[in-house]
């Protein structure tokens, strides 16, 4: 099953200069809880935004980077696909839940295949240069909604949602 997981602000921004435009520890914890033990699929820029490989997750990266291909040979937790058709073929073989985590072009390319959406909606606006592609929510139904707690570490009102394809 292909799932998308992301956070967005009121204007649907998901990134700014290769990073998240906000710091929201509750969203990072939600991301970790959902994705741990599952493969995570991303583009090269998303992968480059990480400090390193995330624990207990297989990293699947869509890229033409020869450097990343060499790096993948040195670790079992990193797999590289050079084109979308290869990635889609691999995804079609997966029996477990696989999380697509970005970027925008990968979300756009796989939106017809996605079966579940995990989204953190942040009720604030941030400076951003990357937008989440517009998804047709009429094809999904909400199965989970929880208000996040605003506190000294989580300064922005936020809500966690999970949608399933109808």
pLDDT-above-70 percentage for the chain: 100
**pLDDT at residue 156, rounded to an integer:** 98
pLDDT digits (tens, 9 = 90+) for 24-65: 999 999 999 999 999 999 999 999 999 999 999 999 999 999
Q: How many domains does the chain have?
A: 1
pLDDT-above-90 percentage for the chain: 97
CA–CA gap between residue 8 and residue 130 (Å, rounded): 10
Pairing of strands 98-102, 59-62: unpaired
Among the listed residues 148, 150, 153, the one whose alpha carbon sits nearest the alpha carbon of residue 161: 148
**Residues 27/144, Cβ–Cβ less than 8 Å:** no
Q: Supply the mean pLDDT for the chain.
A: 96
CA–CA gap between residue 61 and residue 75 (Å, rounded): 13
User: Which residues lie closer than 8 Å to 145 by C-beta, 6 or more apart?
Assistant: 159, 160, 161, 162
SS3 35: helix
User: Which residues lie closer than 8 Å to 49 by C-beta, 6 or more apart?
Assistant: 18, 19
CA–CA gap between residue 136 and residue 112 (Å, rounded): 10
Over residues 76-98, mean pLDDT: 96
Confidence of residue 109 (pLDDT cuts 50, 70, 90): very high
**Residues 98/1, Cβ–Cβ less than 8 Å:** yes
**pLDDT at residue 113, rounded to an integer:** 96
Domain residues for 45?
2-165
Confidence of residue 88 (pLDDT cuts 50, 70, 90): very high
CA–CA gap between residue 15 and residue 131 (Å, rounded): 7
The pair phi, psi for residue 137, each rounded to 5°, is -65, -15
Pairing of strands 13-15, 2-8: unpaired
pLDDT digits (tens, 9 = 90+) for 6-15: 999 999 999 9
Confidence of residue 104 (pLDDT cuts 50, 70, 90): very high
pLDDT digits (tens, 9 = 90+) for 115-147: 999 999 999 999 999 999 999 999 999 999 999
0.75 exceeded by pTM? yes
The span from the first CA to the last CA of the chain, in angstroms, equals 14
CATH number of the domain bearing residue 34:
3.40.430.10
Over residues 73-95, mean pLDDT: 95
The pair phi, psi for residue 131, each rounded to 5°, is -110, 145
């Amino acid at each position: 099953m292909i799932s998308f997981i992301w956070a967005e602000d009121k204007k649907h921004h998901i990134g700014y200069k290769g990073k998240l435009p906000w710091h929201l520890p509750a969203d990072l914890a939600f991301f970790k809880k959902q994705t741990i033990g599952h493969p995570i699929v991303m583009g090269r820029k998303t992968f480059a935004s990480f400090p390193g490989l995330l624990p207990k997750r297989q990293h699947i990266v869509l890229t033409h980077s020869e450097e990343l291909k060499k790096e993948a040979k040195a670790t079992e937790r990193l797999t590289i696909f050079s084109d979308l058709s290869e990635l889609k073929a691999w995804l079609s073989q997966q029996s477990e839940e696989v999380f697509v985590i970005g970027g925008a072009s990968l979300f756009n390319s796989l939106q017809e295949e996605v079966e579940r959406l995990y989204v953190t909606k942040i009720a604030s606006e941030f400076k951003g240069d990357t937008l989440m592609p517009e998804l047709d929510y009429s094809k999904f139904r909400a199965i989970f909604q929880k208000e996040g707690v605003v506190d000294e570490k989580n300064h922005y009102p936020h809500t966690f949602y999970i949608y399933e394809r109808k």
